[in-house]
Structure 1
Amino acid sequence: MMKMPNCDRQKYRTALINQGYSRLFWLNISPIMATVLCLYTTSTTNAQQLPTPLPTPTLEPEQSTVPAFRGITSGNQILLNGRTLSGAWLQRPLSADQPTIHLSDGALRQLIGVDLLNTNNPAQQPIEWFSPSTTAMFLGAWLQRGYRYLDITNFAQSAGWQIKANGNILEISTPVTKVTEITQNQESFGDRILLDLDRPTPWQVSQELPVKSPQDPDTPTLKPAKIPNRIWKISIDGIADPALIQRYTPLPPAPLPVPIPNLLKQLLPAPEPLIKQVEVVNNQTVMSLSIPFGMSPRISTLANPNRLIIDVRPDALVAKDITWARGLRWRQQLVNLGTENFPIVWLEINPRAFGLKLKPMRSNPNAVGGTAPLMQLAPKYSAAAAINGGYFNRNNRLPLGAIRQDGQWVSGPILNRGAIAWNDSGQFYFDRLSLQETLVAANNVRSPILFLNSAYVQSGIARYTALWGISYTPLSDNEIILTVQKEQVINQLPGGKAGQTNFPIPPDGYLLIFRGNAVNTAAQLPIGTTLSITSTTTSNDFSRYPNIIGAGPLLIKNRQIVLDAKGEKFSDAFIAEKAIRSGICTNTTGHLMIAAVHNRAGGPGPTLAEHAQLMQLLGCVDALNLDGGSSTSLYLGGQLLDRSPSTAARVHNGIGIFLEQK
C-alpha cells in the first residue's frame, strides 16, 4: 500500500467532511488522490466560478378565452388566494341562487394539485386530494370547446373554499393553512420528503428551465463533465413555521482550513443538498429542490394526518389510463426496453369517433414565419389535444419540412424525409416524401423546382406563393427573383444581400427564386414569358391526402422498423443523440397515437433506434419521429401532460385534435 507523504492528513479529512463528503469516502479514498492532496499543501488555489445560469424565459400568458354559452359565465383566469393564474373555468346555473362551479381538469391538476385517477367513463372523473387511501371522489365531467370541465361545487364546499365569479376571473380563497413539519428520509428508491399540514390546501409543482445540456438536440454536442441538477419548486398555499424556514435557509460556505486543489474539486464536486431552500413568498411556502439528472419528483397526498409526500426517484411517472372524451384516451406508463425503463405519455385517438378531427396548426396562420409555445398554440385554435410537429429554423422561425393544409402546400418537403398524411375520413399514410415540381416555359425551357415555400436553402430554383406571406425576403445573397402573375413573368430583379429587401408575392401568382448556378436559367425567362408548372409527389399516394406534416426520420412501416436517418440526410450527431422524443403513429385498430418519450429512468432519453423500438412496443403499425428535445410537448385540455410548461420551447407548428360539439 502507498504511504501518505509527510503532511497533515487530519486537516484534509476535516475539510472534506465539512464540505459534505462522508467519512466512508475518506476511508476509501485512493492513495493516489491522497497524494494529490498533499502535493498541493504549500500552494493556494482559488475555486473556479461556476458559469452564471441562463435566465428563465417568461412565457406569455394564455391568449385564448372560453366563449360564453347560454346562461353560463366563463373565463380563463383564476385568482387563487390573491395570485392571478391561467386556467379555464365556467359557472352553470343550477337554480336562481345556486350556480355550479366547473374548473378544467388541467387547472384542477396544475393549480390545486388534484390527482386524476383512471377511468373509462369520460363523464365521471375520479380524483384523489388529501383523501383516505381507500376512497376516491367522483366529479362530473363536461366537454366544451376543447376543455373538459369538472364540477367542483361539492368538492370546494367540503374543503371550505370561498368562490366568486368576477368578469373573466374566478376568485378562489382557501382556508389559512400551516406547514407544521418538514422531514426527509432515505428510502430504497431514493429520497422522501414529508410536509405535514394542519389541513388540505392547494399546491403546485414546476421545474425551472435547465442550463442547456447534451440531452437537448438543439444544443452543441460538446458534453460537460457533469450534467447539472434540475431545480424543482413545490409551492404550498400555507405558511411554514419560522423555525422550519430557518432550518432550510442556505448558509454561506465556511472557509476551508487548508486549500483544496482545483483538480480535486473538479473530480469530486461538493454534493448538493436535496432541499436547497424553504421560503415564504406571497403567502405560499416555496420549497426549492435540487434534483439530479435522471430523477424526478413523484408527489402525492394523504389524509389523517394531512401530508404532502415528495418521492425523488428515477421511475417517478405514475401509470394512467383515462378516457378523457369519446374517442380520446390519455395513457402513460414506464415502458421496458431491455434493461432500460422509459416514461412515455401518449394519447390514443379514434379518428372515426363522431365530431373528432385532426388539423395542422401553425403559430402564425397568416404567414409562414413564427413560433409559439404549444400551450398557447393549441388554445388559440380551440384544439382539445395537440403535439408539436416538424422542424424549423430557430433563428428565422421558418419551417424546414412539409406542411400541407386543406390541399395547399404551406411549406414543401425536403430531403425525402418521413411524413404523415391524413384526410377527414380517418385514413392515414406514412412514408418518405418528395415533391417534384417542373417549370415549363413556352420557349421549351424546362427546369426542376427544388423547393416550395421552404427555408431550406440550396443552389437551384425555389418557388414562394402567397401562403408564404405577403412578401419574400432573400434567404441568401445574390438571388435572382422573378415575379410570375397570371402565368406570365412580369418582373425580374436582383435579390441583393440576404435579409435586406422585401419582394411582394402576388396573390394570383408566385415568385421564382434562382440561387447559385440556377441564376443562368433566369436569363432564359425574360419578362413576358408564359410559364406553367407540373407537380407530383413521391410516393404518389401522398397526393390523395389534403393534410401532411413532415418531420423524420420514418421509424416504422407495416409493423417493421425502417429507420434510415442517414438516408434522410440527418447529421451523425443527431443520429447518435440521446434525447427526449415526440412521435406519431397508427396502431392495429386504425387509431392514431401521439406520444412523448422522456429521459429514461436514471439517464438520458432514447436514441432514434430506441425510439423506433419503443413505438413498436406500443403497438404502432406505422410511425414517424417528430421534432424533439425541448420542442417535445403533449397538450390536453389546457395542460402539458409530459413536462412543466416552463421547460417547453416555442414551436413552429403542431398537429391538433379537435372535438366538435354535438
Structure 2
Amino acid sequence: MIRRTTSQSETFDGVVGIIAPGRLIAFSLPSIIALTVYIATSSPVGITKEPVLKAPEREKSQIALPIAKQMPVAPQRSPKGLQTYAALSSSSPNGLSRQVSPVAAPIGGLQKLPARELPLTTQALVPSASPQVYRQGYQVSINGRTLPATWSQWRLGASVRTGISDAGMTQTLGVELLNTGDVTRQPVQWFSQPATQPLMLATQAVGSYRYLDITDFAQRAGWQLEVKGTKLLISSQPAQVADIQPTLQPRGSRMTIDLDRSTPWQVRKKGRELVVTMDAAAAPALLQRFSLLSPAQLPQALKQGKGEKDRETEGDIPSMVPSPHRWKLPAPVVKSIQNQTQIRINIPAGLSPRFSTLPNPNRLIIDFLPEAMVERDILWAKGIRWRQQYVSLGSSRFPVVGLTLNLRLQEDVNLPFFKLKPIWSHPSKMVGVGLLSETAEMWHASAAVNGGFFNRKNQLPLGAIRRDGRWLSGPILNRGAIAWNDTGAVKIGRLALQETLITATGARLPILFLNSGYVKAGISRYTPEWGATYAPLIDDEIIVVVQNNQVTSLLAGGIAGKNAFPIPRNGFLLTLRANRGPAGSLPLGTKVRVEGATVPDDFNRYPHIVGAGPLLLQNRQIVLDAKGEQFSDAFDRLAAIRSAIGTTADGNLMIVTVHNRTGGTGPTLREMAALMQKMGVIDALNLDGGSSTSLYLGGQLLDRPPSTAARVHNGLGIFLQPRR
C-alpha cells in the first residue's frame, strides 16, 4: 500500500553481503504485480511436491526449500522458510520441521577440496537436460556460523557438483554478480579484478532457484565442504584484518578494510547502523583504535593507522556534490572474537552503502553515497532479464529495478520457457496477506512482484484476480488491469465486470461485485473461489444461499465479521447490503441463473487477469485518469515508491519498481507514466505501491531490504518450465 514518504529511501537494510556484494541495490516502483517465476523441474528425490503455506507473521522474509510445483493444492500449515537475507546469528532460523525428507549422508563423508589454482573460466557449462539432484538443503554453515541459504548437489557425468543459490552466494559469502547475457554462466567478483581475472560460475536451475556451481570456486579458495542433513558446511582459513581506513570522498565517504586474504563476509542493518561481519581476526592494536570511538576521537585514531591513500586502481568517485565537507567521516566500532570480526558503522544521513572487493591487497570497500544502487543487466534465465538502472526525468534521477520477460518464448504453448500466473497469500481463500517473498516461496516461484490493491485492515482484495478462467476476485470501479494468456498475448486497459441475476419470473437483479472486499449498497456474489466461508462485511446483511441454481436459504447476516456462512460447492452466496428490496424477488425455491460479461468483452478471452490502476499508458501516450478510476485526489498527487508493468514494441513484458529519486521522494503517478514511456513501454499499468512494492527473484528481494517490505495480498508469478 502507498504511504506518504518525505525522506530519501533507504537502499540497504538487513542485507547480508548485500543483494550484490559490493553493490547496494535500491529501487522500487509504486506497485509491481507479484511476479513469481516458477521453475517447474522434476521433483528431486526426498522432496515432497505438496505445497507449503506461509508461516505465521514474522519480521523478516524467508526462503523456502526449492520444490518443483506450480499450483498449490491441499494447503498445509507450513514451517517457516529461510530468511531472505542472512543474519549474524549462528542459530537455526527456526526449529520447525520442513516439507522435505532427511537428506542422505554425503558420499565419502567430508569432501576435502585441496587449495589449488583452477581456471574458473573453463568450468563445464550447464547441460541442456536436468541434472540428477540427490541432495538439497536450506542452510549454509561458514566456519561454525549457520546462515539461511539454499544449496544443492547434483551429478554431472561422473562428478558431483555443489551449488549455492545466487542469493545465498551474495548474502553469505559476499560474492557480487556481474552483468551477463549467457544463462549458462554467471561472472562474479570476489576479491578479484573482473576485467583481468573473471570468475565464471556455471549455473543450474533446480526447483525454484538458480544455483551457482561453487565446486571449483571452493577448491581455488582452499575450502572444505561437508554435508550434514540439510546443512552445507564450509570451512575456510580465517583471514587477518590488517587495517581499517575511513576517508572522505567527493560524493560521500569510504571505509576501506585491508585483509591478508580473501574471506567470506556478510552485512546487515539495524536502523541506521550497518553491521559487517567477516571471518577474520583483528589485532589488539586495531581493536583499541576503533573501540567505542566518538567522532571527535576519530581523526587521532586515523593518524595511528597506515594513512595510505586510496590506490589509483580503486578509483575515486566523480564529484556530483559541490561541497564534499558536508559529509561526515565514518566512525566504526570494531570487535573481534574467535577469528570473527564485526564492524559497526552509523550510516551517514542522506547516504547509503555500496560494497565492493579488490585483490592485491585484498580489500573490502564500503562507499557511502547518495546513489548507491549498482546498475545491472543479468540474463537470469531464458527469456528473463534482471535489470537495474538510473533513469533521468528532468532534473531527477530515479533508481529502477525490474525484470524484462521475452513473451515471444511463450508462443509454443506445448513447450513454453515460462508461464505467468497470479498468486496470492493463501491458496485456499481470499482473505489474508503475507510478505511477497513468503508468498512466492509458498507457490514455489522463482520470481514475484506485488500486484493489486487490498484492504490492509480486513486483508481482502480490492480488484481483479483471475487465474485459469476462474474469478478469485472481480474488478471494481472500471480500474486498470492486465490480462494475458499462455501464448504471450497481453492486454492492458480499464476493466469492468457486469453480472445480472435472472430469476424464473424474469426479474433482473444487477450484481455489483464478485468475490470482492469492496463494499457498496446493493448485491454482491461470493463463489467457492472466495474460500470455504463468507463473513459479512457490514452489519445486517441478508445472505441468500443458492445451490444448483435454486434459492435454498435466506439468512440474517447479523454483526459484521461475527458469523461465517459456508459457501456451497455447488452454488454461491448472494449478500444484500443496505437494500432489502431484492429479497422479495428471491423466495425459497426460486430458480435463478447468472449472466455476465467483461467490459470491454475481449478481456474475457484471457484466462489470467490482475487488476490495479490507474492506467498509465496506451499506445505510447499517457492516459492517466486517477479520478476517472475513482482514486482520491490525494492519491493522484502523492509522490511514492511505485511498481508498474507494461508491454514493449519488441514483444517484451517489463516489470519495474522505482524508489525515491536521488535526494528526494518517489515518483508521482504522472512521473511514473513518463518513466515507463521513456523506457520504451507502449501500454502500462500502475500497481499497488509504497511499502507494498516488492520485486523477488531466486530467493531475494531485488529492490528493497526485507525489513522494509509490507505484507501484500496478491501478485503476479513467473514459472520457468523444464525443457523436454
TM-score normalised by L of structure 1: 0.82
Q: Does 1:234 align with 2:276?
A: yes
Check the 8 A contact 2:452/2:687 in 1, yes or no: yes
In 2, the alpha carbon distance for the partners of 1:152 and 1:660 equals 24
In 2, the alpha carbon distance for the partners of 1:570 and 1:276 equals 47
Q: Does 1:306 align with 2:367?
A: no
Q: Which residue of 2 aligns with 1:459?
A: 521
Q: Does 1:523 align with 2:584?
A: yes
- Deviation at residue 330 of structure 1 after TM alignment: 1.2
Q: Which residue of 1 aligns with 2:618?
A: 557
State which drifts further: 407-416 or 270-279: 270-279
Check the 8 A contact 1:587/1:622 in 2, yes or no: yes
Structure-2 change in CA distance of 1:234 and 1:574 (3 Å): farther
Q: Which residue of 1 aligns with 2:178?
A: 117
Identical positions, percent: 53
In 2, the alpha carbon distance for the partners of 1:629 and 1:274 equals 30
Q: Does 1:126 align with 2:187?
A: yes
Q: Does 1:473 align with 2:548?
A: no
Paired residue type of 1:556? L
Q: 1:417 aligns with which of 479, 504, 525?
A: 479
In 2, the alpha carbon distance for the partners of 1:578 and 1:276 equals 35
Check the 8 A contact 1:466/1:505 in 2, yes or no: yes
SS in 1 for 2:400: strand
Q: Which residue of 1 aligns with 2:405?
A: 349
Check the 8 A contact 1:293/1:603 in 2, yes or no: no
- Deviation at residue 558 of structure 1 after TM alignment: 0.9
- Deviation at residue 406 of structure 1 after TM alignment: 0.5
In 1, the alpha carbon distance for the partners of 2:295 and 2:654 equals 51
Query: For residues 628-653 of structure 1, what are the alpha-carbon distances to aligned partners after superposition, in whole Å with 9 as ceiling and x for unaligned?
Result: 11211111111221122222222211
In 2, the alpha carbon distance for the partners of 1:138 and 1:530 equals 68
In 2, the alpha carbon distance for the partners of 1:277 and 1:567 equals 55
Q: 1:376 aligns with which of 432, 438, 444?
A: 438
State which drifts further: 407-416 or 439-448: 439-448
Query: For residues 453-474 of structure 1, what are the alpha-carbon distances to aligned partners after superposition, in whole Å with 9 as ceiling and x for unaligned?
Result: 1111121111111111111111
Give structure 1 stretches of 5+ with no counterpart: 1-55, 211-229, 255-269
In 2, the alpha carbon distance for the partners of 1:205 and 1:586 equals 36
Structure-2 change in CA distance of 1:439 and 1:231 (3 Å): farther
- Deviation at residue 271 of structure 1 after TM alignment: 10
Paired residue type of 1:291? I
Structure-2 change in CA distance of 1:279 and 1:410 (3 Å): farther
Q: Which residue of 2 aligns with 1:440?
A: 502
Give structure 2 stretches of 5+ with no counterpart: 1-56, 69-102, 104-130, 297-325, 410-415
Structure-2 change in CA distance of 1:652 and 1:429 (3 Å): same
Q: Which residue of 1 aligns with 2:389?
A: 333
- Deviation at residue 231 of structure 1 after TM alignment: 3.9
Check the 8 A contact 1:294/1:604 in 2, yes or no: no
Matches within 5 A, 1:215-234: 230-234=272-276
Paired residue type of 1:234? V
Query: For residues 121-151 of structure 1, what are the alpha-carbon distances to aligned partners after superposition, in whole Å with 9 as ceiling and x for unaligned?
Result: 1111111110035321111112222322111
Query: For residues 343-373 of structure 1, what are the alpha-carbon distances to aligned partners after superposition, in whole Å with 9 as ceiling and x for unaligned?
Result: 1111111123232111111111111112222
Check the 8 A contact 2:294/2:331 in 1, yes or no: no
Q: Which residue of 2 aligns with 1:511?
A: 573
TM-score normalised by L of structure 2: 0.75
Paired residue type of 2:632? S
- Deviation at residue 322 of structure 1 after TM alignment: 1.3
State which drifts further: 470-479 or 197-206: 197-206
Q: 2:609 aligns with which of 540, 548, 573?
A: 548
- Deviation at residue 441 of structure 1 after TM alignment: 1.5
Q: 1:323 aligns with which of 357, 369, 379?
A: 379
- Deviation at residue 595 of structure 1 after TM alignment: 0.9
In 2, the alpha carbon distance for the partners of 1:253 and 1:385 equals 43
In 2, the alpha carbon distance for the partners of 1:94 and 1:418 equals 48
Q: Which residue of 1 aligns with 2:661?
A: 600
In 1, the alpha carbon distance for the partners of 2:607 and 2:289 equals 62
SS in 2 for 1:573: helix
Structure-2 change in CA distance of 1:186 and 1:453 (3 Å): same
SS in 2 for 1:111: helix
Q: Which residue of 2 aligns with 1:193?
A: 255
In 1, the alpha carbon distance for the partners of 2:580 and 2:493 equals 33
In 2, the alpha carbon distance for the partners of 1:200 and 1:87 equals 20
Matches within 5 A, 1:78-157: 78-93=140-155, 99-132=160-193, 134-157=196-219
Structure-2 change in CA distance of 1:543 and 1:111 (3 Å): same
Q: 1:285 aligns with which of 336, 341, 360?
A: 341
Paired residue type of 2:595? T
Query: For residues 570-601 of structure 1, what are the alpha-carbon distances to aligned partners after superposition, in whole Å with 9 as ceiling and x for unaligned?
Result: 22332222211111111111111111111111
Check the 8 A contact 1:177/1:238 in 2, yes or no: yes
Query: For residues 302-325 of structure 1, what are the alpha-carbon distances to aligned partners after superposition, in whole Å with 9 as ceiling and x for unaligned?
Result: 111111111111121121111112
Query: For residues 6-56 of structure 1, what are the alpha-carbon distances to aligned partners after superposition, in whole Å with 9 as ceiling and x for unaligned?
Result: xxxxxxxxxxxxxxxxxxxxxxxxxxxxxxxxxxxxxxxxxxxxxxxxxx9
Check the 8 A contact 2:295/2:331 in 1, yes or no: no
Q: CA RMSD in A?
A: 2.4
Check the 8 A contact 1:123/1:140 in 2, yes or no: yes
Q: 1:70 aligns with which of 115, 132, 136?
A: 132
Check the 8 A contact 2:287/2:335 in 1, yes or no: yes
Moved >6 Å (runs of 4+): 251-254, 270-273
In 1, the alpha carbon distance for the partners of 2:348 and 2:467 equals 43
Paired residue type of 1:656? G
Paired residue type of 2:398? F
Paired residue type of 2:365? I
Structure-2 change in CA distance of 1:151 and 1:251 (3 Å): closer
Structure-2 change in CA distance of 1:200 and 1:524 (3 Å): same
Higher RCO structure, 1 or 2 (CA under 8 Å, sep 6+): 2
In 1, the alpha carbon distance for the partners of 2:673 and 2:495 equals 19
